[in-house]
C-alpha cells in the first residue's frame, strides 16, 4: 500500500445551507418590471416609446402654460403685459370671475354665503345616505329636512312655505304609517290626501301672514346661474326622477295592459328624442299647456322636462334589474301570501334597487353632464356663463383654454368622484361569493 | 263516497271591483285611463285657450314658404329662396352626415382604445384609462366647444396664406386649414358618362358589386380549405376585385381633382368642411369613443380564459385566436351597447346648435322656429324625426339580437 492511499481524503460534505442569493440584476426590481410591462416584445417596445414621446410633448407644451400662469390681473391685456411674450396661462380670469363662475352674474353678492352653506350642508345630508353602514341612522333625519332647508337658503323668502311643505310630507308619512298595515291603497291615498290638506291650509296661512321683511331676502329663479345651477338641476332632477323611475319601471312590468302601454309609450318616446328638444319644449312650448294665469318660471319648466327625461332612463335601468331577479323571488313572495305592494316593498325592490345602483349612478352622472345643455336655451349655467358674459366681456375676450379647462376640471372631479363612489358601494353591497 | 264538485259560481258583486284581485286590475286601469284623458283634456283645453288668446293656430303651411336664410354647409342644392321644408331636408342630411362620420370615427377610436386598455404594456394601459376617464367624465358640450374654439380661434385666417413669405402654408398644396373651414380637394369627372350624380352612383354600384364578389371569393377559399386542407391565398385576388373596377371606371370617366386655391379673401374650389362640422364630428367621436372603448373591453373580458386556452391548445396562432374564437363571441356582447352608442351620437348631434352647425335642430328647431314663431309645430316635427331614427335603429338592433342570440336547447 502506498502511503498516498493511506492518507485519508476528507469527503466534502456541506453541512450548512448556502445563503440565498439575490436574483440577477436583470431579473429583479425595476428592470424586470419594465421588461415584463414595457418591453416584453418588439411591438410593445414601439408602443412604449411612442407613449413616452406623446407624454413628453404634452408635458413640454403644457407645463410652461400651467406654471407660468398669471393669477392676478384685471384683464387679458394686463396678463399679456405681465407675461411679455412668454408662454403662460391667464388664470386671473378664474380669480376675478370666481363668483360669477360659481353663482352666475345676477345672484346678489352679499348672499353668496347662502348657496355655499347649502352646498356644504348637501355634503352633510348626503353622507348618511352614502355611508349608511358607518354613520348612525339618526342623521337621516337631517337628510329628510335638507331639501326644504336648501330651498329656503337658496331662494329665500318667507320661512313658512318650506316649513309647511315639510309638514305636508310629515302629515302624509304619519297617516301612511297608521293605515299601511290595513291596506296599501288606503295608506297611499290617505297620505296623499293628508299632505294636500296640509299644503292647502299652509298656503292659506302663509298668504295671510306674509311678512314685509323676511329673514332671508327672496332671490328670483332667473338669478340662479353658474355651477350652482348645474348642481341644483342635477341633484333636484335625479332625486325627483328616482321615485318616478321606479313607478314607471313597475308599470312597464305590470300585467295590466293599459298601464303597461302608457308607461312603454312614455319611456320610449322620451328615450327616443334628444334632451335638447325637450329643453326646447320647456323654453318655448310648455307655457302653452299651462293656464294663462299660471306663470311658471323657466327653471321650474326645465326641471320638469329634465326630470321626465331622466326618469325614463332610470326606469329602464330598474326594469333591467327587475328582469334580472330570479323568478323564484317573485314566486316565493307570492307563496308567502304577500300581496303585490308588500311583495314589491319587502322582497323585490330592495334587491332590484341594489343591483341597479351602478346603472342609476351612470344615469345620474350622464344627467349631471347634460345639465350643461341648458346653456343652449340661454340659461347661464357654468358653460353659459363662460360663453356668454365672460368671454363676451372686453376684459376677458380670448381666454378660452383657462375657462374651458376649469369647467372641464370641475365636471371631471364631480363625475369621477361619483363613479368611484359607485364602484366602492358595489363592492360594499356585494353579497354573492364569486 | 263524496263527490268533488266545483265551488258554486259566485255571482259578480260591485264590491269585487275593489276587493277581488281578479277584478281590481280593471278598476285600476279604468282609473288610469280616466286620469290620462283628464290630463290630456286639461292640457289640450289650455293649449286651445292660449292659442286663441295669442291669435295663433296649428298649421304646417309655413313649411312651403321661402326660408330666407342661408346654410353654408349643405349636401344638396339650397338657397335662401327655397322653402322651409327644403331647409329642413338640408338639416336632416347634415344630421345624418355628422352622425355617420362620428359613428365610424368613434368605432375606430373605441376599438383601438378598448383593445389597448387590455394590452400587457403598463404605460399604454394607463394612458388609455386616462383617455377613457377624462372624456367620459366631462360633458360632450364642453368638448364640442373646445374643438370648435381650436377650429376658429387657433387656426390661421385665409389672409395668413397670402404673400411671398406666408405665415401659414397648405398641407401638400392640397389641404388648407383655416379658421373659416378646412379646404380639401374635390374629385370630379371630366368626361362623365351620365352626369355627376349618376357617375357617383356607378362608382357606388361597382363598390357594392366588389363587396359581393370579394365575399364569394373568400367563401370559395373556405370551401377549398374544407375539402383539401389547403387554403388558397385570397389577398391579391381581393385587392384586384376591390380596386380593379374602381381604377378602370375612374380612368374611363376621367377623374380629376379640383384643388382649393387662394383667391380674393378666401379659398375657392374644392370642398369646404366648416369648423362647426369638424368640431361636432371629432368631439362626438372622441367622447363616444371613450364609451365604446369600455364596451369593447367589457366584451372581450366577458369571454372566459378557457376559450383562449382551448384555442391555443388546438394550435391556433394568437392572431387567429382573436379573429376566429374571441371576437365572434365578444361581438355578441359588444354590438348591442355599440348600437345604442350610435343612437346616442345621433341624438347628441343635436348639440350642433351650440356651434352653429346647420343640422335639423339648427334649421327646423333653430332659425325656422325663430322666424316663423311656429314653436309647437317645429318642435313636434323635430321630435318626430329623432323618434323615427331612434325607433328604426332599435328595430334593427332587435333583429340583430334575435339573429345572434345563443341558441340553447
- Of B186, B184, B244, B191, the C-alpha closest to B213 is B244
Of B258, B279, B311, the domain-final residue: B258
Cα gap B73→A383, rounded to integer Å: 26
Q: Which of residues 291-330 of A touch B (CB under 8 A)?
A: 291-292
List the helix and strand counts (H, then E) for chain A: 21, 0
Q: In terms of C-beta density within 10 A (0-12 exposed, 13-18 middle, 19 or more buried), how is residue A216 classed?
A: middle
Residues B107, B204, single domain; the answer is no
Alpha-helix residue ranges (DSSP H) falling in A11-72: 29-37, 42-67
Q: What is the DSSP letter of A327?
A: H
The predicted-structure confidence for B284-337, as pLDDT tens digits, reads as follows 999 999 999 999 998 888 888 889 899 999 998 877 888 888 888 888 888 888
The 8 Å CB, 24+ separation contacts for B72-79 are: B72/B274, B72/B358, B73/B272, B73/B273, B73/B274, B73/B276, B73/B277, B73/B357, B73/B358, B74/B358
The residue segments making up the domain with residue B219 are 186-258
B146 close contact with A: CB closer than 8 A: yes
C-alpha cell at A300: 321650474
Residue B387 is predicted with a pLDDT of: 93
Residues B327, B205, single domain; the answer is no
Residues A48, A103, single domain; the answer is no
Between A226-252 and A298-324, two packed helices, what is the crossing angle to 10 degrees?
Answer: 40
C-alpha cell at B53: 288668446
Residues A61, A102, single domain; the answer is no
Q: Which residue has the higher pLDDT, A299 or B3?
A: A299
Inter-chain contact A44–B121, Cβ cutoff 8 Å?
yes
- Of B135, B96, B170, the C-alpha closest to B360 is B96
B354 close contact with A: CB closer than 8 A: yes
The residue segments making up the domain with residue A82 are 39-93
Is the pLDDT reported for residue A402 higher than 90? no
Is the pLDDT reported for residue A1 higher than 50? no
On whether residue A8 sits in a domain, the answer given is no
Is the pLDDT reported for residue A413 higher than 90? yes
Burial annotation B305-335 (CB, 10 A radius, 16+ → b, else e): eeebeebeeeebeeeebbeebbeebbebbbb
Q: Which residues, including other chains, have CB under 8 Å from residue B141's CB and lie 6 or more apart?
A: A372, A373, A375, A383, B351, B354
Cα gap A390→A225, rounded to integer Å: 13
The predicted-structure confidence for A35-54, as pLDDT tens digits, reads as follows 888 887 888 888 889 999 99
On whether residue A147 sits in a domain, the answer given is no
Q: Which residues, including other chains, have CB under 8 Å from residue B304's CB and lie 6 or more apart?
A: none
Residues A84, A103, single domain; the answer is no
Instruction: Divide the 409 residues of chain B into consecutive groups of 10 and give the mean pLDDT of each group.
Output: 61 74 82 92 90 82 82 79 86 91 93 87 89 92 91 78 69 75 77 68 86 88 85 83 82 75 72 86 94 91 88 87 85 86 91 88 86 87 92 85 69
Residues B251, B306, single domain; the answer is no
- Which CA distances in Å does B408 have to B125, B266, B335? 36, 64, 20
Residues A89, A228, single domain; the answer is no
On whether residue B152 sits in a domain, the answer given is yes
Residue A232 is predicted with a pLDDT of: 92
On whether residue A25 sits in a domain, the answer given is no
Q: What is the DSSP string of A268-300?
A: HHHHHS-HHHHHHIIIIIGGGGS-TT----HHH
Q: How confident is the model at residue A269 (pLDDT cuts 50, 70, 90)?
A: very high
Cα gap B346→B94, rounded to integer Å: 11
C-alpha cell at B194: 351620365
Cα gap B133→B123, rounded to integer Å: 15
pTM of the model: 0.86
Of A93, A115, A133, the domain-final residue: A93
Q: Which of residues 259-278 of A touch B (CB under 8 A)?
A: 259, 262, 268-269, 271-277
Cα gap B402→B385, rounded to integer Å: 26
Contact B277, B211 (CB under 8 A): no
* B229 phi-psi bin (left φ>0, alpha ψ -120 to 50, beta other): left
Closest chain B CA to residue A51: B124
Q: Which residues, including other chains, have CB under 8 Å from residue A394's CB and lie 6 or more apart?
A: A75
Of B206, B226, B258, the domain-final residue: B258
Sign of CA dihedral A148, A153, A155, A160: positive
Residue B138 is predicted with a pLDDT of: 93
Residue A318 is predicted with a pLDDT of: 93
Cα gap B116→A47, rounded to integer Å: 10
Residue A434 is predicted with a pLDDT of: 45
On whether residue B79 sits in a domain, the answer given is no
Lowest mean pLDDT among A68-77, A169-178, A252-261, B102-111: A68-77
The predicted-structure confidence for B179-234, as pLDDT tens digits, reads as follows 777 888 877 776 666 666 677 788 888 889 988 988 898 888 888 888 887 877 87
Residues A230, A87, single domain; the answer is no
Contact A121, A156 (CB under 8 A): no
Cα gap A144→A153, rounded to integer Å: 15
Element (DSSP H or E) covering residue B263: strand B261-263
CATH number at residue A319: 1.10.3720.10
On whether residue B296 sits in a domain, the answer given is yes
Residues A63, A102, single domain; the answer is no
Contact B46, A291 (CB under 8 A): yes
Is the pLDDT reported for residue A294 higher than 70? yes
Which residue of B45, B49, B123 is the best one to mutate when testing the A interface, meaning the one whose CB has the most A CBs within 10 A? B123
Q: Which residues of B touch A55 (CB under 8 A)?
A: 127
Beta-carbon count within 10 A of B150 CB: 17
Coil, strand or helix at B271: strand
Contact B270, B188 (CB under 8 A): no
**Percent of residues, chain A, with pLDDT higher than 70:** 97
Angle CA A355–A357–A360, to nearest 5: 125
Residue A6 is predicted with a pLDDT of: 61
On whether residue B82 sits in a domain, the answer given is no
B127 close contact with A: CB closer than 8 A: yes
Which residue of B130, B145, B394 is the best one to mutate when testing the A interface, meaning the one whose CB has the most A CBs within 10 A? B145
Say whether the ipTM exceeds 0.90: no
Residues B308, B344, single domain; the answer is yes
Residues A88, A231, single domain; the answer is no
Q: In terms of C-beta density within 10 A (0-12 exposed, 13-18 middle, 19 or more buried), how is residue A407 classed?
A: buried
Q: What is the DSSP letter of A337?
A: T
On whether residue A178 sits in a domain, the answer given is no
- In whole angstroms, what separates CA B336 from the centre of its chain? 14
Q: How far is B163 from chain A (nearest CA, A)?
A: 25
- Of B244, B255, B246, the C-alpha closest to B191 is B255
Residue A240 is predicted with a pLDDT of: 93
Residues A87, A235, single domain; the answer is no
A284 close contact with B: CB closer than 8 A: yes
Beta-carbon count within 10 A of B71 CB: 20
In this complex, how many residue pairs, one in chain A and one in chain B, have their CB atoms less than 8 Å apart? 150
Number of domains chain A is built from: 2
C-alpha cell at B138: 366631462
Residues B284, B398, single domain; the answer is yes
Q: Which residue has the higher pLDDT, B284 or A27?
A: B284
Q: Which residues of B touch A372 (CB under 8 A)?
A: 139, 141-142
Q: What is the DSSP string of B154-185?
A: ISPPGGGG-SSS-SS--BTTTBEEETTEEEE-
Closest chain B CA to residue A387: B145
Q: Facing residues of B178 across strands?
A: B181
Beta-carbon count within 10 A of B96 CB: 16
Number of domains chain B is built from: 2
C-alpha cell at B63: 313649411
Q: Facing residues of B188 across strands?
A: B256
Residues A51, A103, single domain; the answer is no
Q: Which residue has the higher pLDDT, A14 or B387?
A: B387
On whether residue A202 sits in a domain, the answer given is no
On whether residue B234 sits in a domain, the answer given is yes
Inter-chain contact B36–A407, Cβ cutoff 8 Å?
no
Residue B257 is predicted with a pLDDT of: 76
Cα gap A92→A238, rounded to integer Å: 34
On whether residue B208 sits in a domain, the answer given is yes
Cα gap B137→B291, rounded to integer Å: 10
On whether residue B340 sits in a domain, the answer given is yes
CATH number at residue B379: 1.10.3720.10
C-alpha cell at A287: 307655457
Q: What is the DSSP string of B210-257?
A: HHHHHHHHHHHHHHHHHHHSPPPP-HHHHHHHHHHHHHHHHHHHTEEE
Residue B70 is predicted with a pLDDT of: 81
- Which CA distances in Å does A152 have to A163, A214, B359? 9, 11, 42
The predicted-structure confidence for A343-364, as pLDDT tens digits, reads as follows 998 999 988 988 888 889 889 9
On whether residue B274 sits in a domain, the answer given is yes
Residues A77, A102, single domain; the answer is no
Q: How far is A186 from chain B (nearest CA, A)?
A: 12
Residues A275, A259, single domain; the answer is yes
Residues B228, B335, single domain; the answer is no
Q: Which residues, including other chains, have CB under 8 Å from residue A265's CB and lie 6 or more apart?
A: none
Amino acid at each position: 500500500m502506498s502511503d498516498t492511499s493511506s492518507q485519508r481524503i476528507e469527503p466534502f460534505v456541506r453541512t450548512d445551507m448556502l445563503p440565498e442569493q439575490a436574483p440577477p440584476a436583470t431579473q429583479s426590481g425595476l428592470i424586470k418590471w419594465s421588461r415584463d410591462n414595457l418591453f416584453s416584445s418588439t411591438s410593445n417596445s414601439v408602443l412604449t416609446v411612442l407613449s413616452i414621446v406623446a407624454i413628453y410633448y404634452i408635458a413640454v407644451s403644457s407645463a410652461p402654460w400651467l406654471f407660468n400662469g398669471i393669477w392676478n390681473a384685471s384683464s387679458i391685456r394686463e396678463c399679456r403685459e405681465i407675461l411679455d411674450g412668454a408662454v403662460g396661462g391667464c388664470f386671473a380670469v378664474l380669480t376675478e370671475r370666481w363668483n360669477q363662475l360659481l353663482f352666475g352674474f345676477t345672484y346678489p353678492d352679499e348672499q353668496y354665503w347662502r348657496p355655499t352653506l347649502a352646498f356644504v350642508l348637501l355634503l352633510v345630508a348626503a353622507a348618511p345616505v352614502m355611508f349608511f353602514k358607518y354613520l348612525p341612522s339618526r342623521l337621516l333625519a337631517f337628510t329628510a329636512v335638507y331639501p326644504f332647508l336648501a330651498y329656503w337658503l337658496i331662494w329665500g323668502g318667507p320661512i313658512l312655505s318650506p316649513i309647511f311643505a315639510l309638514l305636508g310630507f310629515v302629515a302624509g308619512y304619519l297617516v301612511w304609517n297608521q293605515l299601511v298595515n290595513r291596506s296599501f291603497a288606503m295608506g297611499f291615498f290617505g297620505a296623499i290626501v293628508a299632505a294636500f290638506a296640509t299644503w292647502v291650509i299652509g298656503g292659506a296661512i302663509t298668504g295671510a301672514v306674509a311678512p314685509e321683511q323676511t329673514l332671508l331676502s327672496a332671490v328670483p329663479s332667473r338669478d340662479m346661474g353658474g355651477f350652482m345651477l348645474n348642481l341644483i338641476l342635477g341633484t333636484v332632477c335625479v332625486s325627483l326622477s328616482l321615485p318616478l323611475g321606479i313607478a314607471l319601471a313597475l308599470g312597464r312590468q305590470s300585467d295590466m295592459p293599459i298601464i303597461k302601454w302608457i308607461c312603454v309609450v312614455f319611456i320610449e318616446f322620451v328615450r327616443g328624442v334628444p334632451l335638447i328638444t325637450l329643453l326646447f319644449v320647456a323654453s318655448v312650448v310648455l307655457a302653452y299647456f299651462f293656464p294663462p294665469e299660471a306663470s311658471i318660471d323657466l327653471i321650474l319648466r326645465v326641471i320638469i322636462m329634465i326630470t321626465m327625461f331622466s326618469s325614463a332612463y332610470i326606469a329602464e335601468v330598474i326594469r333591467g334589474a327587475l328582469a334580472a331577479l330570479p323568478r323564484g323571488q317573485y314566486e316565493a313572495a307570492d307563496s308567502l301570501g304577500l300581496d303585490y305592494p308588500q311583495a314589491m316593498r319587502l322582497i323585490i325592490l330592495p334587491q332590484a334597487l341594489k343591483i341597479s345602483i351602478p346603472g342609476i349612478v351612470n344615469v345620474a352622472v350622464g344627467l349631471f353632464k347634460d345639465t350643461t345643455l341648458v346653456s343652449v336655451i340661454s340659461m347661464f349655467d357654468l358653460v353659459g356663463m363662460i360663453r356668454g358674459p365672460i368671454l363676451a366681456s372686453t376684459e376677458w375676450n380670448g381666454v378660452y383654454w383657462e375657462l374651458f379647462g376649469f369647467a372641464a376640471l370641475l365636471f371631471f372631479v364631480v363625475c369621477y368622484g361619483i363613479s368611484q363612489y359607485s364602484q366602492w358601494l358595489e363592492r360594499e353591497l356585494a353579497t354573492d361569493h364569486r | 263516497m263524496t263527490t268533488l264538485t266545483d265551488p258554486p259560481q259566485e255571482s259578480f258583486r260591485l264590491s269585487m271591483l275593489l276587493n277581488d284581485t281578479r277584478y281590481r286590475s280593471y278598476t285600476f286601469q279604468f282609473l288610469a285611463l280616466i286620469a290620462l284623458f283628464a290630463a290630456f283634456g286639461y292640457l289640450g283645453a289650455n293649449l286651445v285657450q292660449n292659442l286663441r288668446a295669442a291669435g295663433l293656430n296649428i298649421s304646417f303651411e309655413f313649411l312651403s314658404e321661402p326660408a330666407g336664410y342661408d346654410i353654408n354647409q349643405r349636401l344638396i342644392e339650397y338657397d335662401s329662396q327655397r322653402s322651409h321644408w327644403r331647409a329642413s331636408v338640408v338639416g336632416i342630411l347634415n344630421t345624418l352626415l355628422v352622425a355617420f362620420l362620428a359613428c365610424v370615427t368613434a368605432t375606430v377610436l373605441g376599438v383601438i382604445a378598448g383593445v389597448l386598455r387590455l394590452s400587457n404594456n403598463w404605460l399604454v394601459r394607463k394612458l388609455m384609462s386616462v383617455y377613457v376617464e377624462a372624456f367620459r367624465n366631462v360633458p360632450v358640450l364642453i368638448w364640442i366647444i373646445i374643438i370648435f374654439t381650436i377650429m376658429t380661434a387657433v387656426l390661421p385666417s385665409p389672409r395668413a396664406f397670402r404673400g411671398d413669405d406666408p405665415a401659414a402654408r397648405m398641407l401638400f398644396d392640397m389641404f388648407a386649414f383655416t379658421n373659416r373651414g378646412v379646404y380639401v380637394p374635390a374629385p370630379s369627372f371630366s368626361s362623365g358618362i351620365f352626369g355627376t350624380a349618376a357617375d357617383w352612383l356607378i362608382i357606388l354600384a361597382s363598390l357594392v358589386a366588389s363587396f359581393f364578389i370579394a365575399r364569394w371569393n373568400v367563401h370559395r377559399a373556405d370551401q377549398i380549405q374544407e375539402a383539401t386542407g389547403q387554403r388558397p391565398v385570397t389577398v391579391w385576388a381581393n385587392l384586384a376585385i376591390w380596386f380593379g373596377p374602381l381604377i378602370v371606371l375612374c380612368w374611363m370617366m376621367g377623374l380629376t381633382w379640383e384643388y382649393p386655391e387662394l383667391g380674393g379673401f378666401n379659398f375657392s374650389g374644392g370642398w369646404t368642411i366648416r369648423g362647426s362640422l369638424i368640431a361636432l364630428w371629432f368631439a362626438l367621436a372622441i367622447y363616444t369613443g371613450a364609451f365604446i372603448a369600455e364596451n369593447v373591453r367589457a366584451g372581450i373580458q366577458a369571454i372566459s380564459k378557457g376559450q383562449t386556452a382551448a384555442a391555443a391548445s388546438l394550435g391556433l396562432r394568437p392572431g387567429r385566436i382573436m379573429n376566429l374564437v374571441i371576437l365572434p363571441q365578444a361581438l355578441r356582447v359588444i354590438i348591442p351597447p355599440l348600437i345604442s352608442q350610435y343612437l346616442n351620437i345621433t341624438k347628441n348631434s343635436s348639440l350642433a346648435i351650440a356651434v352653429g352647425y346647420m343640422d335639423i335642430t339648427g334649421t327646423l328647431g333653430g332659425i325656422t322656429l325663430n322666424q316663423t314663431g311656429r314653436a309647437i309645430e317645429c318642435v313636434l316635427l323635430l321630435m318626430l324625426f329623432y323618434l323615427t331614427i331612434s325607433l328604426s335603429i332599435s328595430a334593427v338592433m332587435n333583429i340583430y339580437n334575435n339573429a345572434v342570440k345563443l341558441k340553447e336547447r
